[in-house]
Structure 1
């Protein structure tokens, strides 16, 4: 009768996945209610200066800005809409904006300006679908000056990227923005790289972030991290490790960067190096979450002859109240004791793990171990529990139940 599957089939002996926390792409939001009006007025004043030619945000744009300006007929409505928005009455401002957009006597600039303001009001209210519709209209009308036109297009791409299922559409909008505006700003290119990464287009993402890293004397850590991760996803292990080491060396006390380095080592099957990093973090008190300890003991489970350390780590995590006393934890402990020939504590750990399992397989392993130790009555009881909890193949449990009493 086979006692256990080989250790490489352990459910906890899988390579640790990269621990990357990618920031969401989000547009700038309104600040507190007390300073919104002043901020908005200042922003509009700045836009007026830019539209007068004192500051063009997109000097390399291929688009020739239209000559059309706001109509005299629409001015009272536009002013009312602006005042409502400045007074933090976004819903009422949207009502007036809709009236302006629907009025055929007003020109394209009136409509586009109203749509742009309504889009921000809708976004501030959490109505992303309406915000997208308004922004799309503001762009399609093609009536705003370059600064407002391209900023509307940029915000449209950002909000689209936030919406579930619209990431590819947002990337397409961003590509159009980059082409037509001529922008080469690093933050705009980084948005493109992150979108490509999220769409799992790793070679394209890597190309963007490599360009950013190579062209900037002090590249941002996020660019390096995403370049590292893109390389790792493409199987370019050496490049990923070199970048991870560079990032981690610059920030020895940064938990996320050290965890990323350990993850890249694990992906490259360099579990000994990963363990060194993680053990330093444990000694420094940086392993503060349940998953941190699980990553550490899973790393040891992937290393030949290092099973004994797993139980030590688990007991440490449980004693500190960091590790949760759940099924995975007790199963890993049981395997650690078993594969390091500590049978009695292995049995105790299996007894804790088995009731927490969703099926009877862990009870069956307990029964096999008790049978191996010639503890037949206990083995039979565990076999009964295994059958009661559910087994795909109950024959082994039935064989144990059929053993003669001693």
Structure 2
């Protein structure tokens, strides 16, 4: 058996691609309906404690190109809105939503009244975890064009987030483009939603530009924003830029396993495997390897580094002994390879014997036969070759050559 074969074309492919472990920016507030209800009750309590007086809402969109219409309810429409809000305040969601639908269907009511009903309908749908229903209400609120700028653009922004949540990426991007064009907003919390939509549409270069603008404009950018920028750079083959972000996050959060794993993943994808192994070893030494994938990432890294086969075997055995690494085909075949390339043929044979029955075909039995042949264990090699043929191999002639050997 020729051990000079390229390390990436050895007896089996043991390399497991490192994967970034961060998540994308959350699209909307991930509260449950009960949490949102509790938040609303708390707001009401605060209002009562302050005597029920509220200052006029600050204009959140001072640079908007839209001229806000006069927001005024008629006597007839006002009574219907009050009835809807009474239901809403008493948390009678079914009745409140029915009242909102009734107002929306009444074309005799003015744009403000129907827009406001749509806005409340959207909130009720959202509270009920009905995102698609909320989007439909928000579209009506925007199209009716009866709200002040705060209500109008808040509805638009909420719709963009919900569209993102519903995997309607192109729609979300279109909504955000309109929102940003009409509000002239450069707020980071607005830009990041557009960046997220671009990322999900695989427009990584465009996403990186927008996300970086959001980060640069924020005094305290969120960690997940940094992670999304890092992902955009990686997908756009900008490994050096991704590494800078990963290293900064890891240095800022030395005890954060996810941040450290991200650094290792970025190093791996940038083919800096020695650096990746060093980061992962620190985590292993600190007892932070608690998942199957942790061990797999480290042993795969070692198997792709010259002269690190013994280290790979040590990692695999530790994971198996602790019951964290699953004793499956991949683990055993990687262990066999680790032993083989560190000149431990007997242990390699034992590992192959565990891997071969779990293999999807007969190739592992054939590799076992080759190693047994190399060790002059001809009868065992022939038996392994038989198993290989029975299970199926790409080159039966290789197995037949072993079967044709004369026993010593």
Does the alignment reach a TM-score above 0.5?
A: yes
* Structure 1 partner of 2:100: 97
- Determine if the alignment matches structure 1 residue 289 to structure 2 residue 291: yes
* Structure 1 partner of 2:156: 153
Distance 1:44 1:388, change over 3 A: farther
**Distance in 2, Cα, partners of 1:398 & 1:43:** 84
Distance 1:185 1:31, change over 3 A: farther
2:86 to 80, 83, 87: 83
The CA deviation at 1:283 is 0.8
How many residue pairs match? The answer is 403
**Distance in 2, Cα, partners of 1:180 & 1:376:** 79
**Distance in 1, Cα, partners of 2:253 & 2:210:** 24
Q: Is the 8 A contact 2:188 2:217 kept in 1?
A: no
**Distance in 1, Cα, partners of 2:62 & 2:37:** 35
Distance 1:3 1:282, change over 3 A: closer
The CA deviation at 1:5 is 6.1
**Distance in 2, Cα, partners of 1:179 & 1:388:** 67
* Structure 1 partner of 2:72: 69
TM-score (norm 2): 0.90
Match of 1:17, SS state, is coil
1:125-140 → structure 2 map (5 Å cutoff): 125-140=128-143
Q: Structure 1 regions of 5+ residues with no counterpart?
A: none
Q: Is the 8 A contact 2:332 2:352 kept in 1?
A: yes
* Structure 1 partner of 2:204: 202
Match of 1:189, SS state, is helix
Q: Is the 8 A contact 1:3 1:369 kept in 2?
A: no
1:258 to 253, 257, 260: 260
Q: Is the 8 A contact 1:17 1:263 kept in 2?
A: yes
Match of 1:32, SS state, is helix
The CA deviation at 1:160 is 0.4
Between stretches 192-201 and 267-276, larger displacement belongs to 192-201
* Structure 2 partner of 1:162: 165
Q: Is the 8 A contact 1:288 1:322 kept in 2?
A: yes
Distance 1:372 1:135, change over 3 A: same
Between stretches 214-223 and 226-235, larger displacement belongs to 214-223
Q: Is the 8 A contact 2:64 2:182 kept in 1?
A: yes
The CA deviation at 1:16 is 2.4
**Distance in 1, Cα, partners of 2:29 & 2:181:** 20
Between stretches 73-82 and 326-335, larger displacement belongs to 73-82
Between stretches 138-147 and 351-360, larger displacement belongs to 351-360
1:346-361 → structure 2 map (5 Å cutoff): 346-361=348-363
* Structure 1 partner of 2:126: 123
**Distance in 2, Cα, partners of 1:214 & 1:38:** 36
2:301 to 296, 299, 315: 299
1:245-394 → structure 2 map (5 Å cutoff): 245-394=247-396
**Distance in 1, Cα, partners of 2:255 & 2:60:** 38
Distance 1:28 1:361, change over 3 A: closer
What is the alpha-carbon root mean square deviation over aligned residues?
2.7
* Structure 1 partner of 2:112: 109
